[in-house]
Amino acid sequence: MDAAPTLTHCPYCSLQCGMGLRRTGAGLDVVPREDFEVNRGALCGKGQSATALLGAGRLTSPLVRDGRGGLVAAGWDEALDRIARGLAAAQEGYGRDAVGVFGGGGLTNEKAYALGKFARIVLRTSQIDYNGRFCMSSAAAAGNRAFGMDRGLPFPLADIPRSGCVILVGSNPADTMPPALRYFTELRANGGKLIVIDPRRTRTAEQADLHLAPRPGSDLALALGLLHLVVAQGRTDEEFIAARTTGWEETRAAVMAHWPEHVERTTGVPVPQLRETVRLFCEAQSSMVLTARGPEQQAKGVDTVGAWINLCLATGRMGRPYSGYGCLTGQGNGQGGREHGQKADQLPGYRLLTDPEARRHVAGVWGVEPDELPGPGRSAYELLDALGTEVRALLLMGSNPVVSAPRAAHVEGRLRSLDFLAVADVVLSETAALADVVLPVTQWAEETGTMTSLEGRVLLRRRAIDPPEGVRGDLDVLHGLAQRLAPGREKGFPTAPEEVFEELRRASAGGKADYSGISYGQIAAEGGVFWPCPQGSAGTPRLFLDRFATPDGRARFAPVTDRPAAEETDARYPVWLTTGRVLAQYQSGAQTRRIAELNEAAPGPYVQLHPELAARVGVADGEPVAVLSRRGRAVAPARVSRDIRPDTVFMPFHWAGEGRANTLTNPALDPVSRMPEFKVCAVRLEAAGASGAGASGAGDAG
């Protein structure tokens, strides 16, 4: 009889699909796991091939930079000693904040918690942030401002098919999280309506009842225009507004300037489509707005999300069954990763680092004085931009900013300018290849730990197989470094994940993201537990049904108005660039680009452009085309398609080299969330062999 499979979760996106892992003579096989309600046994190609990650291209020995500039194998003691010396030297020469820590949204809750604690009580640096800043930080800031709390979805995914209408803004789950697409298919089968807002006609948009294709960067104007129509048509829910919100009068006044014809000129969305959107949304008994990176990865992302939240509040579509605003976060633990200490301004439990009571509570759990804790540091891009100047040494875990950061060529240069760089990773990523020391660490099926999905559901990943010889866990790394850098404090860095989680529970108790009532046993028994879950609670699948998490229990309207993108098109750069993911690859590609079947499905970057634009540039389908912004040049094959606006091009961001999309993107930051403007920048196109300002630049394509 076959042994029972290890029940666990996929290593990729924030759906955290359930899967089973069964030992075979060759290693592990993925088997369906029907008991987990989110995916009911379904997996995308990435999940189905996930066990290939355990072998392909793995690092199995620490690497250190030798005298000739190459990376050579070394023992663990030598590698950890080198890291300790490199970090200590930077702080001795330039101060505590001369050392930075950069984490990742794929780290388990236990590792994210331990990394934040390590930065603050071992290194005592304020300079820590993580790549989750590039994920849903704008939605988080807008949610906190409106509701007093941020959780990706304030309701389970299972509520989506029971809604009457869903507006999906800047999201393509057919490619980014395919098992989630069934929720939208079921919505329509139940008679509900799906409205998709995207500059491209994606595979998700093809399934919509209505597809709106606005210009990149005009999502804020679109949301304001829809609310203007809601007011003009008398579709507001005045009873809900009076009973459960504040700030409506200022918000109503702000939207009146965004009349339909003006919004059509700004967005390119025809007025009849605006009116039909309002009709479908308001005539349904229940409605939702779900945003993703499209509207969020902008320098006005917080206000843009706030405008969509305003639409939900004004129509009474918040705090009621099968209605509300939610964010489809992307990274596997983008939610939990910031809740417990990787973010520059936060302590465990989603506590603010500037709050004296939060500092007192967490310091007490950690056994230090509150004044030992540093204050807030730089956000992710600002931290990367400071490398080699204010920040002289960096410890990086679970991220590949050479590919994933905006203005990536500049960031790569900053990484190269460091006095010392240490990277803990599974493979020799483009970023790890620049390091002075590289540590080979365990991955998903080789370790136990918790993840928090986009629903706010805390899940348990179980260890199914031993790691390769020579590989250690991130918790072991932090323990070893603490022992070297702050002798005695390593006792606060246990290597057993459940022991770390027990401390995380105490540290989070009483915070917005309260995990104190969650245990490994409870997660295993219930298939996951929704936070907040104080002691004695069974968890909270649905938020805000009775009150919002503000002091007075009321939601806050945000009286926002439209403004231009940080960078607009002009005669020299007349075309919009937007970026995103493809079905067979994930994030920076450090994982998926190692898998043969995924590379066969998506072998490299491309530039999607409309036939009219291709004709202006003089490029045919499959021919190389150069895309130039004010920050650099990228080259990739043209993919000519009518499924994109004529004034817009799209590039996926999974690859390094000359096709690196993030060479082009704009690091302009949202003033609140500090989110870079990945989703919109001005570019021009040239046939790849052309050069100079006089080349065929599609100057009439705007």
Distances (CA, A) of 260 to 266, 291, 447, 585, 614: 10, 22, 54, 39, 31
> Strand ranges (DSSP E) for 400-554?
420-425, 437-440, 449-452, 457-461, 529-530
Residue 643: Cβ-neighbour burial (10 angstroms; 0-12, 13-18, 19+): middle
- 511 pLDDT band, cuts 50/70/90, is very high
Residue type (1 letter), 537: S
Angle between helices 109-121 and 497-508 (to 10 degrees): 70
Q: What is the pLDDT of residue 691?
A: 46
pLDDT digits (tens, 9 = 90+) for 529-573: 999 999 999 999 999 999 999 999 999 999 999 999 999 999 999
Q: What is the pLDDT of residue 2?
A: 65
Q: Is 31 helix (H, G, I), strand (E, B) or coil?
A: strand
d(CA 382, CA 227): 34
Residues of the chain with CATH 3.40.50.740: 63-134+333-507
- 208 pLDDT band, cuts 50/70/90, is very high
Residues of the chain with CATH 2.20.25: 6-54
Residue 658: Cβ-neighbour burial (10 angstroms; 0-12, 13-18, 19+): middle
d(CA 505, CA 524): 16
pLDDT digits (tens, 9 = 90+) for 212-251: 999 999 999 999 999 999 999 999 999 999 999 999 999 9
- Taking residues 510-519, what's their average pLDDT? 97
Residues of the chain with CATH 2.40.40.20: 575-687
* Residue 699: pLDDT over 70: no
* Residue 693: pLDDT over 60: no
For domain 6-54, the CATH architecture is Single Sheet (2.20)
Q: What is the pLDDT of residue 330?
A: 83
Q: What is the pLDDT of residue 497?
A: 98
CB-side neighbour CA atoms (13 Å) of 465: 24
- Determine how β-strand 676-677 pairs with β-strand 666-669: antiparallel
pLDDT digits (tens, 9 = 90+) for 128-187: 999 999 998 999 999 999 999 999 999 999 999 999 999 999 999 999 999 999 999 999
How does DSSP classify residue 394?
E
Non-local CB neighbours of 388 within 8 Å, separated by 6+ positions: 414, 416, 417, 418, 419
- Which among 316, 321, 309 is positioned nearest to 237, based on CA atoms? 316
How does DSSP classify residue 387?
B
Between 331 and 415, residue with greater pLDDT: 415
- Taking residues 659-670, what's their average pLDDT? 98
Q: What is the pLDDT of residue 1?
A: 46
User: Phi-psi region for residue 627, left (φ > 0), alpha (ψ -120 to 50) or beta?
Assistant: beta
How far is CA 45 from its chain centroid? 20
- Output the DSSP codes for 122-155: TS--S-EEEGGGGTSHHHHHHHHHHHS---S-SS
Residues of the chain with CATH 3.40.228.10: 137-327
CATH number of 575-687: 2.40.40.20
Which CATH number fits the domain 63-134+333-507, given the four candidates 3.40.50.740, 3.40.120.10, 3.90.25.10, 2.40.30.10? 3.40.50.740
Count of CB atoms within 10 A of residue 618's CB? Answer: 15
Superfamily designation of domain 137-327: Dimethylsulfoxide Reductase, domain 2 (3.40.228.10)
- 338 pLDDT band, cuts 50/70/90, is confident
Angle subtended at Cα 168 by Cα 163 and Cα 174, rounded to the nearest 5 degrees: 100
- Taking residues 77-85, what's their average pLDDT? 98
